[in-house]
Amino acid sequence: MNAIVEELLAGEKRQTGAADMMLQLAEWAAASYARYDRAAVDRITKAASEAAYALAGSLAEAAVKETGFGVAEHKKIKNEICSRGIYEAYKNEDFCSKRVVAEQKIVEVPRPAGVVFALTPSTNPVCTVYFKIMLALMTRNAIIISPHPFAKKCSAEGALAMAKAAEQAGAPAGIIQVITEPTLPLIEHVMKSPRVSVILATGGSPVVRAAYSSGNPAIGVGPGNAPAFVDSTADLNAAAKRIIGSKSFDNSILCTNESTVVAEESIADKLLQALGKAGGYVAKPDEVDSIREYLFGLGSFNVEVVGKSAAEIASRIGIKVPSSTKVILTPIDRVGIDEALSREKLCPVLGFVRVPHVHAGISTSRALIRMSGAGHSAAIHSSNTATILAYAGAVKALRVVVNAPCSQGAAGFGTHLAPSFTIGTGFFGRSSVGENIGPKHLVNWTRIAYSDEASETFGDFSSLEVWNNQAPLPVGRDSPMTLGRLQEGAERADAALFAQAAGGAMTDEIAAMRDEIRRIVLEELRAAFRK
């Protein structure tokens, strides 16, 4: 082996060399998986979801232990929702087969993205890994997971368990991969790779901005700062239970959680009483000052309180609260950049501001989202449809949850929005997607469009599918190893050299393929050093 290449693979660039090999394998796996039929995809997706579901509880505990964030019981629920729950939600939808629109003489052919690079957060680590893998498998894409360094162990364990189950069910080797030791240079290297088809970025604003500036297509989410407006027509006891339940869920680390309650003055006192009965503690003025200083005294949000319980936060500040306290309420007299407690808070501390009437409530809620959270989420508790519509038309949020917990409702749990742990913020939030992200966002459709002249007869496509006309992919030294060449078609290899992954084992061929990938990567590295 060339001495320069040996030094490269053993030195500081060893990680990027390994990442290039992962991308090569993912590229091959994506091209192979794109030829699977719906039945095979369903079998693989279900197997992966069940493997993930089986680990929902143990990985919830592992995530809390590794990160120190949240509540294991609640994380278990999220893990179950994002494994078996996502499978059940989409199992009757078909992202693999053609669609025939006979009356328009159009045939739509699904085209998977290819290689998905998924960045996952520390706050919701395992459930986000589960969710993104499920979306990729349903749409016949390969996926490489890059977990947050604070949650790399639990995230990797979940991803590898799903990978094993998927491959045992017939998926190509490398369809799910995980970067077990993520670093910023490595992530940047992969994000900019031409082999990446799309980036799914969930995390802080810097991560999302980096994804969008990578040069590759990206779907990212921005921060939240959801207002919860309660007007005089609301059922106050129901609203209080929903708000406290939502804000305390997993210690408030979902970006869809309520940030500040905006209460119409005529019902504000009664609402505070109801919030207290539901598990809220109303902080006294001097305690509000102490909380503000502890959370934002250094100029930015104190990350030490992310995902901590209300009781623990109170203890750190020196405030005595009842043992039943789930959320600390901090009454404030205004919202804006000069009131830190009106910012997003990923902990069970909830701002509370009074407004004289509905119009002021809508204006105040607009101001909260103008500070942060544009395009994200908002909640309203009301029985007045005119107010609800005016609120939705005024606040720059693309999810307005009515009479439901915002944390769960905006994410599609407890409402009929698409279930998701990646929230598109649209043009308001400088994102290309304004919906809850789902499988449909990882597949494009080629549209065969006949002439609209009545004399032009539309063809009969009823017995045809794209994969029926595709040759099996050859492996080994004769295989075309780039997705571009694979998309243009590959010559049929001798049947003795391979068995399709959907129907049988490929042990020898996969080994040969991996050897070939290593050889090609080394050749590329040598070429790079000759320049």
Looking at the structure, tell me whether residues 402 and 341 fall in a common domain: yes
Q: Are 231 and 361 contained in the same domain?
A: yes
Q: What is the pLDDT of residue 491?
A: 36
Instruction: Answer yes or no: is 15 within a domain.
Output: no
pLDDT at 36: 93
Q: CB-based contacts of 128: which residues, under 8 Å, 6+ apart?
A: 82, 120, 121, 202, 421, 422
Domain assignment present for residue 309? The answer is yes
In degrees and rounded to multiples of 5, residue 230 shows phi and psi of -120, 115
Whether residue 78 sits in one domain with residue 191: yes
96 among known catalytic residues: no
Residue 511 region by backbone torsions, left for phi larger than 0, else alpha for psi between -120 and 50, else beta: alpha
Q: Residues 73, 194: one domain?
A: yes
> Is residue 344 assigned to a domain?
yes
Dihedrals phi, psi of 218, to nearest 5 degrees: -145, 145
* Strands laid side by side in the 106-112 sheet: 99-101, 106-112, 443-449
- Position 268: which residue type? A
Catalytic residue among 96, 154, 255, 406: 255
Structure tokens of 162? 């799903």
For the chain, the domain total comes to: 3
Q: What's the CATH code of the domain at 333?
A: 3.40.309.10
H-run or E-run covering 509: helix 507-530
| Statement to judge: residues 192 and 340 lie in one domain | no
Domain of 52, CATH number, reads 3.40.605.10
Task: Using alpha carbons, select from 48, 53, 86 the residue that is nearest to residue 167.
Answer: 48
Q: Are 129 and 253 within one domain?
A: no
Q: With respect to residue 456, please indicate whether it lies within any of the assigned structural domains.
A: no
Does residue 416 lie within any of the structural domains? Answer: no
Mark whether 34 and 125 lie in a shared domain.
Answer: yes
Please tell me whether residues 79 and 140 are part of one structural domain.
yes
- pLDDT number for residue 202: 83
Q: How many CB atoms are located within 10 Å of the residue 515 CB?
A: 12
Closest CA to 80 of 156, 146, 134, 36: 134
Q: Are residues 282 and 340 in the same domain?
A: yes
Backbone dihedral region for residue 375 (phi beyond 0: left; psi -120 to 50: alpha; all else: beta): left
Q: Are residues 217 and 236 in the same domain?
A: no
Domain co-membership, 233 together with 341 = yes
Residue 18: the pLDDT is: 84
**pLDDT given for residue 1 in this prediction:** 42
- Tell me the two tokens of residue 371: 């500070």
Instruction: Sheet containing 226-230: give its strands across.
Output: 280-282, 327-331, 349-355, 258-264, 226-230, 375-381, 397-402
Same domain, 153 and 250: no
Q: Is 108 helix (H, G, I), strand (E, B) or coil?
A: strand
* The pLDDT of residue 429: 86
State which of 409, 429, 460 marks the end of a domain.
Answer: 409
Question: Mean pLDDT per segment of 10 residues, for the chain of length 531 residues?
Answer: 50 70 93 93 98 98 96 96 96 94 94 96 94 98 96 97 96 95 90 93 79 85 91 98 96 94 98 97 96 92 93 95 96 94 95 97 96 94 98 96 96 92 88 91 95 93 74 46 40 35 43 56 54 47
User: For position 212, what pLDDT does the model report?
Assistant: 80
What is residue 526's predicted lDDT score, i.e. its pLDDT?
A: 56
How crowded is the C-beta side of 464, counted as CA atoms within 13 Å? Answer: 11
φ and ψ at 518, to 5 degrees?
Answer: -60, -40
> pLDDT at position 464, please?
84
Residue at a domain's end among 361, 390, 409: 409
For 447-485, give the secondary structure using H, E and C. EEECCCCCCCCCCCCCCCCHHHHCCCCCCHHHCCCCHHH
pTM of the entire predicted model = 0.85
Domain presence at residue 473:
yes
b/e sequence 146-167, b meaning 16+ C-beta within 10 Å? bbbebbbbbbbbbbbbbbebbb
Residue-number span of the structural domain to which 366 is assigned: 226-409
In a domain, 505, yes or no: yes
Identify whether 154 is part of a domain: yes
